Amino acid sequence: MKRCRMHPYPLRKAVALCVLALFLVSPAACRRKQESPPQGEAETINLNAISQIENYKEILRKDPNNLQALINIANLYFDTRQDLPAIENYQKALALDPRNVNVRTDMAVCFRRSGNPDRAVEELKKAISIDQRHAQSRYNLGIILIHDKGDIEGGIRAWEALLENVPNYQYRDSLKGEIERMRGMSGSVKPKYK
């Protein structure tokens, strides 16, 4: 089951925030601020997640090398934003299937969310070396380079490589437009992909 996730920010909002970062001193200022939900509203929580996690823990007690159970429990931890247990289970899954780029990409998002963007970049680069056409890894690499590392040029290069290696990328036109705007704002060279 393909499960790679987009970065939590929609593309337009993510890039708009990054463009704003070009004018700010600190790259950390690019991060979206969390607003408190209105009184009586809260983020939706998967109430079944706890029981599903317990079910997978039982499966893994009996069969610790059950690859699908490791991936599924890691995905549940991911979805409930429990990044450290998600990473632990993704690592176990990757020990059994080191070429699984979807798992590696999801684990990279967990590393980023847990404050380790360097490790996230490392994992995304490994995923890309395994599958040059894995769009999600390339897209997330650009986001992390821009948002967390303050490397606008590196992020643009990651996205240009996405366009080069994945010619049928679903969000091609939108991403191309964002690259052009970012290059224009930073005074960089013109984009090379049509």
What's the chain look like in SS3?
CCCCCCCCCCHHHHHHHHHHHHCCCCHHHHCCCCCCCCCCCCCCCCCCHHHHHHHHHHHHHHCCCCHHHHHHHHHHHHHCCCHHHHHHHHHHHHHHCCCCHHHHHHHHHHHHHCCCHHHHHHHHHHHHHHCCCCHHHHHHHHHHHHHCCCCHHHHHHHHHHHHHHCCCCCCHHHHHHHHHHHHHHHCCCCCCCC
- What b/e readout covers 55-68, taking b as 16+ CB neighbours within 10 angstroms? ebeebbeeeeebbe
The pLDDT of residue 3 is: 58
Domain that holds residue 129: 125-186
Position 131 in a domain:
yes
Decide if 60 is inside a domain. no
Task: Determine the pLDDT at residue 36.
Answer: 40
| Rg, C-alpha atoms of the chain | 18
Task: Work out how many domains the chain is built from and give that number.
Answer: 1
- CA–CA separation, 22 vs 12, rounded Å? 16
Q: What is the pTM of this model?
A: 0.75
Residue 19 forms part of a structural domain: no
Which token pair is 31?
Answer: 């991060």
What does the pLDDT read at residue 185? 73
Q: How many CA atoms lie less than 13 Å away from 132 in the CB half-sphere?
A: 6
Note whether residue 135 is domain-resident.
yes
Classify residue 66: in a domain, yes or no: no
Residue 136 lies in a domain: yes
Q: Which phi and psi (to 5°) does residue 48 adopt?
A: -80, -15
pLDDT along the chain (194 residues), means of 10: 49 42 32 38 64 96 98 96 98 98 98 98 98 97 95 95 96 94 69 46
Whether 162 maps to a domain, the answer reads yes
Please state the separation of Cα 146 from the chain's center in Å. 12
The pair of three-digit structure tokens given for residue 155, joined into one six-digit string: 């992020």
